Structure 1
Amino acid sequence: MAVTATETKTAPVQTKTGEKTPAAAAEATSSTYTPPPGRLGNLTPVQEAALAKVAAELRAEGAFVESRHDDANLLRFLRARKFDVPKTKEMLIAARNGGRSLAPRTFEFTELEEVDKYYPQYYHKMDKSGRPVYIERIGNLNMKALYACTSQERLIQRLVVEYESFLTMRLTACAAATGHPVETSLTILDLGGVSLSNFIRVKDYVFATTSIGQNMYPECMGAFYIINAPWAFTAIWAAIRPWLDEVTAAKVQIVGGPRAYRPLLLAQIEEDSLPKDFGGTCECAGGCSLSDVGPWNPEGGKAASPTASALTEKTAEAIEHPAGGQVLSA
């Protein structure tokens, strides 16, 4: 699978005692960073013209939202529509209208710990490129128990909140830590223990989240690994793939058990950043799935998680005027 985010490899910057200096390391990384094609700093004249045109037309029509329509976010939608300005505008407006109806201005996911028992969905540190790592595990999914403590509507509201926090908080923190722009994430979907009947029970939710990701938060998936894929996943993938656009589907890599996926993940993620369950060495206190640890929350803990507390003012404003960009599932 081709990973779209550019990996930057630089020698660690050290102090006289041999310890790494984060600020100096970020500066060294920044100096060697080259933006991928279609991003700020690497646009063709045609792409630059399309960016200027879509921004000007949105302003002229009174549809431009300062907090949402910066150049980087507009470029997400432009890339998703191959820099076709009319199609990009249509997508932007549909995303804004759709987002307003999906999540309230303030949202508190108080059932987080209970939901985590049946359907862990979480961000955990960064990969070697500086991208936030997002993990989902559906092998132990118990729909009856899950919907006893939450609902599909609240799960979707949480998804939108997480997408928005990804844009307004996680990417910003990762960019500061690495010293260069970070626009995508690496996703791990663990199917260990999943059955075809389990997937059938959750397919409506998967379809809804896939549509939200592609249509409201495009161009945020850098890499997608489906691991522990069972023999029956051929049928499951045949059902999922038609929901995905070609660009998204091309980023998905399906692999089997630990012998197959561990070297692939460790090529992308430092061993001490990868949870022990997936072949790394990280064992967060209270469990990695509830730690929300990363540059956005260095000490970890649910207090800083946007799904465990009320939305920040910035994220709430983003949901009020959604037109940003983001992964298949948050």
Structure 2
Amino acid sequence: MAAPQSKYDDYDFPTTAPEAQPGHPGHTTPEQDAKVQQLRSELEQLGYTERLDTLTLLRFLRARKFDVAAAKTMFVECEKWRKDFGTDELARTFEYNEKAQVFQYYPQYYHKTDKDGRPVYIEKLGKIDLNAMYKITTGERMLQNLVTEYEKLADPRLPACSRKAGKLLETCCTIMDLKGVGITSVPSVYGYVKQASVISQNYYPERLGKLYLINAPWGFSSVFSVVKGFLDPVTVNKIHVLGSNYKKELLAQVPAENLPTEFGGSCSCAGGCELSDMGPWQEAEWAKDPKWAAPKEVTKTEEAAVEKEIEAQADQPTA
């Protein structure tokens, strides 16, 4: 059963999840629908007026096992972070002019789609050289770029993919290439990776569809089998640890024509796949301008507050 629509549910793409998983759009119970409404009502009482649509609230509720109080805390902390980080403005104004140089040491990019229609996100962790990168950019700008890309994932990437696939897509297929990663390289990148992970888990919940760790070094699988014990079973089922013989399994999920040649696919974009940003979000038939690009509408409450301030200033005695 789908949750009742609200005034916030202004979608121009399919909104039913393709698989009948509990708590996912189009497959919710009356109890889950009631929790969406309860969470929205409590957030409205706190003064929130943005990101209260059903899809967003369901993601926060799933991330907290439909515990309304925990989801509310998560949402409030996320909104505080967005304000402090300047997220809304970043999406509109941030320009990562040094991207091509940075990618020599840390390629991280979206590229086409997997067989389910989801955006494919690729990172090559083995090439990270933070010392070299910090001569080109800063850790702060790297995180700003990461956040900007997350915002672009939410809109326009996922909506475009949903339109093309004819079904709701809310997650990514992530490929992390561990080739070249050694124990000695871990400490230097740990700080950045930890910050990036916190942003991902706390502020962009429920965005991971599948994760392929390829070229996993010897012994990695043993370490991961221990780590699995601390992870949610739902998360564990999304993660695939593969060694150097990863191509067959990866190609079972990502069409060869969408996978860069270096990973066993047949795609070779002009200028390089890493910088092409190819996908449905670049195709006129499916792409639409992201909503965050439009001038922000001023609400009646905000208008009234501005008018009240102007009146107050007008009543002030002149010098």
TM-score category of the 2 structures, normalised to the smaller one: 0.7 to 0.9
Instruction: Give the gaps of 5 or more residues in structure 1.
Output: 1-28, 305-310, 319-330
Q: Runs of at least 4 residues of structure 1 off by over 6 A?
A: 29-32, 238-244
Partner residue in 1 for 2:95: 108
SS of the residue aligned with 2:127? Answer: coil
Distance 1:293 1:180 in 2: 20
Match for 1:157: what amino acid? Q
Cα distance, 1:168 vs structure 2: 1.3
Contact conserved, 2:16 with 2:168, CA < 8 A, in 1? no
**Structure 1 position 264 matched with structure 2 position 249:** yes
Question: What pairs up with 1:311-330 in 2 under 5 angstroms?
Answer: 314=292
1:136 aligned counterpart, secondary structure = strand
Q: Where in structure 2 are the equivalents of 1:132-151 lying within 5 Å? A: 132-151=119-138
Structure 2 counterpart of 1:81, one-letter code: R
Question: Structure 1, residues 260-319: CA drift from partner, whole Å, max 9, x if none?
Answer: x111111111110111111110011111111100000139xxxx9xxxxxx97716989x
8 Å CA contact retained: 1:119, 1:138: yes
Residue among 40, 45, 54 paired with 2:25: 40
Structure-1-length-normalised TM-score? 0.76
Work out the CA distance in 2 between the residues paired with 1:114 and 1:316.
30
How much does 1:50 deviate?
A: 0.5
Distance of 2:183 and 2:294 partners within structure 1: 37
The root-mean-square deviation of aligned C-alpha atoms, in Å, is: 2.9
Q: State which of 38, 42, 63 in structure 2 corresponds to 1:80.
A: 63
* Matched-pair contact (CA < 8 Å) for 1:120–1:289: yes
Residue 56 of structure 1 corresponds to: 41
| Paired amino acid for 1:162 | E
In the alignment, the residues of structure 1 paired with residue 264 and residue 161 of structure 2 have an alpha-carbon distance, to the nearest angstrom, of: 23
Total equivalences in the alignment: 276
CA contact (8 A) 1:275 1:283 kept: yes
Q: Which has the bigger relative contact order, CA under 8 A and spacing at least 6?
A: 1
Q: CA deviation at 1:36?
A: 3.1
TM-score, normalised with respect to structure 2: 0.79
For residues 222 and 61 of structure 2, what CA distance do their matches in structure 1 show? 33
Aligned to 1:98: 81
Once the 2 structures are TM-superposed, how far is the Cα of residue 198 of structure 1 from its aligned partner?
1.4
Q: Which residue of 2 aligns with 1:174?
A: 161
Q: Match of 1:42, SS?
A: coil
Report the counterpart of residue 5 of structure 1 in structure 2: none
Once the two structures are TM-superposed, the CA of residue 232 in structure 1 deviates from its matched residue by 5.2
Distance of aligned partners of 1:239 and 1:36 in 2 relative to their CA distance in 1, 3 Å threshold: closer
Q: Which amino acid aligns with 2:54?
A: D
SS in structure 2 of the partner of residue 117 of structure 1: coil
2:294 & 2:82 partners in 1: Cα distance?
11
Taking structure 1 as reference, are residues 198 and 223 closer, same or farther at Cα in structure 2, changes over 3 Å only?
A: same
Q: Distance in 1 between matches of 2:45 and 2:58?
A: 19
For residue 123 of structure 2, give the secondary structure of its aligned residue in structure 1.
strand
Paired amino acid for 2:81: G
Determine if contact 2:17/2:24 at 8 Å carries over to the other structure: no
The aligned amino acid for 1:263 is K
How far did 1:196 drift?
A: 1.3
Q: Displacement of 1:234 after TM fit?
A: 5.6
**Stretches of structure 2 lacking an aligned partner (at least 5 in a row):** 1-13, 297-319
